[in-house]
Structure 1
Amino acid sequence: MDAIRVHGIEKSYGKQRVLTGIDLTVPAGTVFGLLGPNGAGKTTLVRILATLVQPDAGRAEVAGHDVVSAAFSVREKISLTGQYAAVDELQTGYENLVMVGRLRRLGRAAAKRRATELLERIDLVDAGRKLVKTYSGGMRRRLDVAMSLVTEPPVIFLDEPTTGLDPRSRQQMWTFVRELADAGSTIFLTTQYLEEADQLADRIMLIDHGVAVADGTAAELKVRVGGERVELEFASLADRAAAVLDLGAAVTAFGELSLTVSTDGTAAEVRELLDRMDKIGATVAKVAIHRPTLDDVFFALTGGNPR
């Protein structure tokens, strides 16, 4: 079952086309990562799916409801956490959660019970009775996400949820997102951190200038920009020259005393490569194996910086 379906979505602001014919599906209970340079259209697509903006063309469904004709039904099934924490600094974390529960029509007792449950879930029990203005950035971010979970929505939109967080807080947020997905929630994630998508997303779409340029698992996208590479560093220029003649077209890059060679990354192939160097008398001083990353994918397929 698909939690999100998008077909032919287009959006323009004046003469600027922001999205062009976007198609995607997100199976229920998975994490979908949307990557792209600054201005690629990521946040606009999230706003369309969250019913905050209407598309110019195309169709989108979230939790089985059309985002235009059944916007109210969509809003009942989703939560949206934007790029900046929307919390009341003059209330405690507990009070923030109870307030949201009451606004979402939970009874007083149910809102308090849910607030207590969520504080435990996000590891803020000790800080729950403290004013939010005393919280660190990571604590505020976790509270912000928790506030969107008060009614346990099946679809959660996280728009760059770890922007500005330190590495420890980012790791804590990653753990929280994994727990949400493991519990059955569908997560639609936009992020400027390529490692974040690599760690969390079951499937990734890369968009650039409003156009989808790649779609697949992290492993599939990495294969698109080339397989693994072995860098050989030689003891002398003569050794390097001999290796160039022997390896020929397999060489993909040159250094002063090094060569980079394409490989499937298996131990057997690396061993065979070193055996070949021994046979021609080329002394290999160092060996390094390089695996493609989402950074490689990003820079190969787009023309901008990630954001």
Structure 2
Amino acid sequence: MRRNKIALLTTIMGLASSTAFAQEAEEASFWAALGTMDSSELMLLLMIMVMLGVLVMLLILMIYLMSFIVTLLKQENPELANQPSWWERFNERFVSGKLKPVEEEEDIMLSHDYDGIRELDNFMPPWLSYLFYGSTIAAIFYLINYSAIGWGKTPEEEYQAQLAAEEIAAEKRKEMALASIDESNVEMDQSEFVLIAGATVYQNNCVACHAADGGGGVGPNFTDQYWIHGGSIKDVFKTVKYGVPDKGMIPWQDQLSPEEIMQVSNFILSLKGTTPANPKEPQGELYVPEGDDGGETAADSAVVKTASETEDA
């Protein structure tokens, strides 16, 4: 018996501690959500709380007035004094039920006893009966909804739906990040995906002036070390984006997305050091990056000598 009591107390303490931790977590999340609200949302929340408070006060006042009126009626009509009040009727019907008086408890007393304690064969309280009936009805609807109709989602289905939603959100974040790429933050990316995508953009838009192998034609040669407008990824991105109208190169920012400009810029830089079929003579200045990341601009790189100086030599 003592061990059972200790186990019961341990269970109650465990439940109480877990409930306390859950309440602390809920309070923390509540205050965190409250801190993110703007003034209009806080005002709306305050108005709702005031209205709820007023409703509670009106309910208390109504109960008090009803009790006061019943008291007056009983004083005027003594016969009403022996009748149960509305609360007694409510309690008997929904809460405690109609209990046997103490004088009649002998009739419902069970034969067995424990340590001299006798058990009464009372009926189930009405509130517990209603709770049982409600749980049964809810279980039936739950079974129909999840197993027969299939409107509801199982935990696994909810998990998969959340994963799909997160993938969509991640894709949107990626698209927003790619849309914000410009000549100030573009980075060197020689991954296979970027180079393949850049090659497609190059073949569709750049071959006519720079040749399929990057050897140059109307435009300059991309395979040597000489660059007219700088040879870093930022310089190439800027040149493709804004073009060189004086030389006949149109700005591509209206026809290509920032992601496509980034891809074709990386592909152009990947052509450096290859051997084209008919390479055009070097143009511009010899570009030697200071580091290996390819992120320097022409102003940060070491300019050794121009192509014309090479020819003079």
Q: Could you state the TM-score of these two structures normalised by the residue count of structure 1?
A: 0.17
- Bigger relative contact order, structure 1 or 2, given CA contacts below 8 A and separation 6+? 1
Larger helix fraction of residues: 2
Q: Could you state the TM-score of these two structures normalised by the residue count of structure 2?
A: 0.17
Give the greater-gyration-radius structure (CA). Answer: 2
Larger strand fraction of residues: 1
